[in-house]
């Protein structure tokens, strides 16, 4: 308690800086190069270096003994066979692939990496790899004056993490998140460094509590862990997109979500009865506010027992799910890991009998207090348990449910440490390890169990999973929301760099609780937050028990109108967003991205935290302050078209712009294209017409790709998709589109239309060399039919 007062800074209570006192691994004493793998011994331990691809190299240093090549479950890829040349001089060992050159200095043992164009990527100087006798490990790298750092998963603060010190330890943090809040729910020990417009990445594959220190020393940064090995992968870049392609080659990418999962979602802790859920659904329908999903938070259960419904509150869940589905609305229930200790509860019985719960080495089950009271926790590190948990989800799929919300899976426990006893010994598929070592994997492995179970039950339909906790690789199973934020303007502001950095950490399907979870929201905040949410990959309004309700109509008509307008805008933009989701699935490139990703040579973008891009051609500059209707927008090189007014703004400049409450500033780059559909009530409604909007320039080329598939099944994996590649060339009085289709999906839309913005009235439009004639449309812009199916 005293720690919350000035007593915390009482003289003599200064914090000790942890990464002092390390011992160096010393000189190289012996080495051996075989089958492309270098094994080198230092004075204290062993180093292995191996290439996964020409542009990915892995270093494993165990300062205490043999280096093990066993990876964490983040990894899904084995090394490819890479031609590596080995050379040696008196002082150096050099390993080279086609793209990278690794120099290992012998005395002391130090690593320097260049690309084959001579660009220095990383260097260890006076400091390199080290350890403490207490088994902590550390790796230092030189930090250049011009280095900027991104990624690190879910962190508070601004976009560029230079100057920060960050801990990876999955934590349930209900206390208000602020710039000094460190460990949150996700641990993604991966980052991207940008130097002089070129990028490289490092993934530290260590599941212990780890720290990334970009603050303590001016010339070095470091990553350290409480145990395990120094096991990291270097990704050569040289662009941020390439780094993400490289990182997600190892840790996986998002499956393409079902279309309904990228619509608007409404949640509340909790909609407490069947009646209330029906009323919420009906209100959305009556008011014509689009909606795809309603969430059931913990009150749906019988005494918070997972895989049950409370008979009084939800007497007929099957009927409820069916009725809502007929209206195009899905129900997603919460499933926490804690299983109530209750000898009369079948899930608990099965768990005990099947030996599915986390235990101490002595054999006794670990119990912790969560919503249901004293609870046991499935040991997801065991394949057998993951299978059991997955099978249990038949309970939900049999009710017609195809989405699950995983929460409290850090795992959160109501005690001093906020989590499971670190002494618990996980089964870990026959290689038992303590919770201290595997804590950060709990959410990832619960996601694995849940997603795979649901996938099996849904028989070809795509499941949707939302998770609070995870580790690198969680993107393969789940969307991530940023946990318990508050209805503070500061939290709206903070959500932008947080979600952008999640995207730069391989997790493109992310978002924050729109309107804020705890604390009372208000109309203006909800309206502005919904504007942002409309362009955030994951779009859910959620609020907590005991605070103001925040459904779109909660703060009066004035705000409802604005909120509705932006939920509708989301649906209009779904074809564009869905295309970007498919791109994220294919390449790892995020949907919502910082400007620095597209403009890495423009220093104005390096720490731009209050604007973002959707794809490579749309800048969104939301208002994130109360009672403010003006802001500065930075537009990078090119000319930009105001989405609402058509006005052109010059790039490479800051602009003071005005945005009344009903305006979210959106700018589309001149010379580029977006694809929009119609406003809908939900994603069950199909577009009759899809419209390509071309923002014509005097002279430019652009490649646009439109992606579509059935939005529900996995048939896209078998080629049942449409990828329409459109090469756009603008000339003074002409527009040429060269269109090529890939895949064999026949889309629902019958007509593909083109609208040309700010073109002259006498332009000619050609598609694959054939001239189109203008049709009459309900806009006064020249409109053409490209295709009629
Ligand atoms: C946690 C979640 C929150 C949820 C609540 C009750 O605080 O983060 O979203 O509503 O638990 O289940």
> Is the pLDDT score of 198 beyond 90?
yes
Rounded to whole angstroms, the Cα distance separating 216 from 222 reads 9
- pLDDT of 69 strictly over 70: yes
pLDDT at position 11 is 82
Q: Residue 719 burial by CB count (10 A; 0-12/13-18/19+): exposed, middle or buried?
A: exposed
Decide if pLDDT at 1 tops 90. Answer: no
- Residue 638 in domain: no
> Are 209 and 473 in contact, with CB atoms under 8 Å apart?
no
Specify the pLDDT at position 19. 60
d(CA 619, CA 461) in angstroms, rounded, equals: 34
The mean per-residue pLDDT over the stretch 546-556 comes to 98
Q: Cβ distance 600 to 242 under 8 Å?
A: no
- pLDDT tens sequence across 656-695: 999 999 999 999 999 999 999 999 999 999 999 999 999 9
How far is the C-alpha of 386 from the C-alpha of 448, rounded, in Å? 7
Three-state SS sequence of 188-236: CCEEEEEECCEEEEEEECCCCCEEEECCCCCCEEEEEECCCCEEEEEEC
What's the pLDDT tens digit per position in 74-113? 999 999 999 999 999 999 999 999 999 999 999 999 999 9
The tokens of 737 are what?
A: 């589109």
In the structure, what pLDDT confidence band is assigned to residue 193 with cuts at 50, 70 and 90? very high
pLDDT of residue 18: 56
pLDDT band at 20 (very low <50, low <70, confident <90, very high): low
Q: Which domain holds residue 762?
A: 686-788
**How many Cβ atoms sit within 10 Å of the Cβ of residue 655?**
17
Q: Look up the CATH number of the domain holding residue 201.
A: 2.60.40.1760
Q: What pLDDT does 345 receive?
A: 98
Name which residue sits closest to atom 4 of ligand 1, judged by CA. 269
Model confidence pLDDT, tens digit, residues 494-505: 999 999 999 999
Atom of ligand 1 nearest to the CA of 544: 10
The CATH number given to whatever domain includes residue 715 is 2.60.40.1180
The pLDDT of residue 457: 98
Q: pTM value?
A: 0.98
Residue 174 CA to ligand 1 centre (angstroms):
9
Pocket of ligand 1 (CB under 6 A): 269, 297-298, 334, 407, 468, 483-484, 517, 542
Summarize the confidence of residues 357-375 as an average pLDDT. 98
Question: What is the arithmetic mean of pLDDT over 604-624?
Answer: 98
Residue 2: pLDDT over 70: no
Work out the mean pLDDT of the chain and round it to a whole number: 96
CA separation for the pair 584, 601 (Å, rounded): 23
> 441 C-alpha to center of ligand 1: Å?
20
| Percent of the chain at pLDDT exceeding 70 | 98
pLDDT at 347: 98
Q: Evaluate whether residue 16 is within a structural domain.
A: yes
- Residue 173 is predicted with a pLDDT of 97
Q: Do residues 563 and 555 make contact, with C-beta atoms less than 8 angstroms apart?
A: no
pLDDT tens digits for range 376-404: 999 999 999 999 999 999 999 999 999 99
Atom of ligand 1 nearest to the CA of 174: 7
How far away, in angstroms, is 270 Cα from ligand 1 center?
9
Q: Please give the Cα distance from 172 to 352 (Å, whole number).
A: 26
Spell out the alpha helix ranges (H) of 309-401: 317-326, 346-353, 383-392, 394-397
What pLDDT shows up at residue 9? Answer: 79
Of the residues 333, 406, 407, which should be mutated to test ligand 1's pocket, given the most ligand atoms within 8 Å of the CB? 407
Distance 467 CA to ligand 1 centre (A): 11
Decide if 650 is inside a domain: no
CB contact set of 755 (below 8 Å; sequence gap of 6+)? 691, 692, 693, 694, 777, 779, 781, 782, 783, 784
Residue 578 has pLDDT above 60, yes or no: yes
Cα-Cα-Cα-Cα dihedral of 381, 382, 383, 388, to 10°? -110
Ranges assigned E (strand) in 412-563: 425-426, 433-434, 464-467, 470-471, 479-481, 510-511, 513-514, 540-541
- Show which of 195, 223, 251 is a domain's final residue: 251
Segment 527-555 mean pLDDT: 98
For 337: left if phi > 0, alpha if psi spans -120 to 50, otherwise beta; the answer is: alpha
pLDDT the model gives residue 553: 98
For ligand 1, mutation pick of 177, 272, 405, 408 (most atoms within 8 Å of CB): 408
Q: Residue 679 C-alpha to ligand 1 middle, in angstroms? A: 31
Q: Is residue 17 over pLDDT 60?
A: no
Looking at residue 764, what is its pLDDT? 94
Q: Is the pLDDT of residue 431 over 70?
A: yes
Q: State which of 337, 514, 517 you would mutate to test the pocket of ligand 1, scoring each by most atoms of that ligand within 8 A of its C-beta.
A: 517
Establish if 81 belongs to a structural domain.
Answer: yes
Point out the ligand 1 atom lying closest to the alpha carbon of residue 408. Answer: 1
Number of domains in the chain: 2
Confidence of residue 479 (pLDDT cuts 50, 70, 90): very high
* Final residue before a domain boundary, out of 184, 219, 251: 251
In a domain, 239, yes or no: yes
210 pLDDT tier (thresholds 50, 70, 90): very high
Of 251, 282, 309, the one marking the end of a domain is 251
Closest by CA to 566, choosing from 509, 623, 610, 607, is: 623
In a domain, 278, yes or no: no
pLDDT of residue 14 exceeding 70, the answer is no
pLDDT in tens, 516-527: 999 999 999 999
What's the pLDDT band for 762 if we cut at 50, 70, 90? confident
Q: Catalytic residue numbers?
A: 407, 410, 484
């Amino acid at each position: 308690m005293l720690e919350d007062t000035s007593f915390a800074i009482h003289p003599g209570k200064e914090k000790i800086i942890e990464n002092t006192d390390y011992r160096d691994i010393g000189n190289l004493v012996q080495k051996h190069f075989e089958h492309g793998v270098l094994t080198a011994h230092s004075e204290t331990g062993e180093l292995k270096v191996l290439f996964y691809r020409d542009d990915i190299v892995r270093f494993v240093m165990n300062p205490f003994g043999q280096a093990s090549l066993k990876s964490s479950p983040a990894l899904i890829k084995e090394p490819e066979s890479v031609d590596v040349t080995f050379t040696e001089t008196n002082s150096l060992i050099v390993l080279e692939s086609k793209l990278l050159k690794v120099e290992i200095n012998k005395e002391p043992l130090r690593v320097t990496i260049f690309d084959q164009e001579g660009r220095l990527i990383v260097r260890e100087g006076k400091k390199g790899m080290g350890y403490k006798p207490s088994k902590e490990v550390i790796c230092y790298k030189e930090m250049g004056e011009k280095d900027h750092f991104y990624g690190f998963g879910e962190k508070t603060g601004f976009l560029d993490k230079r100057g920060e010190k960050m801990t990876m330890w999955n934590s349930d943090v209900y206390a208000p998140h602020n710039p000094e809040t460190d460990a949150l729910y996700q641990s993604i020990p991966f980052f991207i460094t940008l130097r002089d417009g070129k990028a490289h990445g490092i993934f530290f594959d260590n599941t212990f509590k780890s720290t990334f220190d970009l603050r303590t020393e001016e010339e070095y940064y470091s990553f350290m862990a409480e145990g395990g090995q120094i096991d990291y992968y270097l990704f050569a870049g040289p662009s941020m997109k390439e780094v993400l392609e490289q990182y997600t080659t190892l840790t996986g990418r998002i499956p393409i979500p079902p279309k309904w999962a990228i619509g608007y979602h409404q949640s509340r802790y909790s909609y407490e009865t069947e009646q209330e859920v029906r009323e919420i659904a009906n209100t959305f329908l009556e008011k014509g506010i689009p909606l795809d999903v309603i969430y059931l938070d913990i009150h749906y259960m019988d005494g918070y027992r997972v895989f049950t419904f409370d008979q009084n509150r939800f007497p007929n869940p099957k009927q409820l799910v069916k009725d809502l589905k007929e209206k195009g609305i899905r129900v997603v229930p919460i499933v926490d890991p804690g299983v109530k200790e209750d000898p009369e509860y079948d899930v608990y019985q099965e768990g005990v009998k099947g030996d599915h719960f986390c235990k101490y080495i002595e054999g006794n089950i670990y119990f912790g207090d969560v919503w249901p009271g004293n609870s046991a926790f499935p040991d997801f590190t065991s394949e057998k348990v993951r299978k059991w948990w997955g099978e249990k989800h038949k309970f939900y799929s049999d009710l017609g449910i195809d989405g699950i919300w995983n929460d409290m899976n850090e795992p959160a426990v109501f005690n001093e440490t906020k989590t499971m006893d670190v002494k618990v010994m996980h089964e870990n598929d026959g290689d038992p390890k303590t919770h201290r070592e595997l804590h950060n994997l709990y959410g990832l492995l619960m996601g694995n169990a849940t997603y795979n179970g649901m996938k099996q039950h849904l028989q070809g339909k795509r499941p949707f999973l939302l998770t609070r906790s995870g580790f690198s690789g969680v993107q393969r199973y789940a969307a991530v929301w940023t946990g318990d934020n508050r209805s503070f303007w500061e939290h709206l502001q903070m959500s932008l760099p947080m979600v952008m950095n999640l995207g730069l950490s391989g997790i493109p399907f992310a978002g924050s609780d729109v309107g804020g979870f705890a604390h009372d929201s208000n109309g203006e905040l909800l309206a502005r937050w919904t504007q942002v949410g409309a362009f955030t990959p994951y779009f859910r309004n959620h609020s907590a028990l005991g605070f103001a309700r925040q459904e779109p109509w909660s703060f009066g008509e004035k705000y409802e109108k604005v909120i509705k307008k932006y939920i509708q805008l989301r649906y209009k933009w779904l074809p564009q967003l869905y295309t970007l989701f498919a791109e994220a699935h294919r390449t790892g490139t995020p949907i919502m991205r910082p400007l620095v990703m597209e403009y890495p040579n423009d220093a104005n973008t390096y720490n731009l935290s209050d604007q973002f891009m959707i794809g490579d051609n749309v800048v969104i500059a939301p208002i994130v302050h109360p009672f403010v209707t003006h802001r500065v927008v930075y537009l990078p090189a090119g000319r930009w078209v105001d989405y609402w007014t058509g006005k052109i703004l010059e790039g490479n400049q800051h602009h003071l712009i005005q945005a009344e409450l009903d305006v979210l500033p959106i700018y589309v780059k001149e010379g580029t294209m977006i694809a929009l559909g119609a406003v809908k009530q939900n994603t069950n409604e199909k577009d009759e017409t899809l419209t390509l909007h071309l923002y014509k320039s005097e002279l430019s080329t652009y490649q646009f790709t439109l992606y579509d598939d059935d939005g529900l099944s996995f048939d896209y994996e078998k080629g049942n998709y449409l990828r329409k590649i459109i090469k756009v060339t603008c000339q003074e009085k002409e527009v040429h589109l060269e269109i090529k289709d890939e895949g064999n999906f026949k889309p629902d839309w019958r007509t593909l239309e083109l609208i040309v913005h700010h073109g002259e009235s006498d332009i000619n439009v050609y598609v694959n060399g054939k001239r189109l004639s203008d049709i009459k449309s309900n806009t006064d812009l020249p409109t053409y039919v490209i295709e009629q199916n």
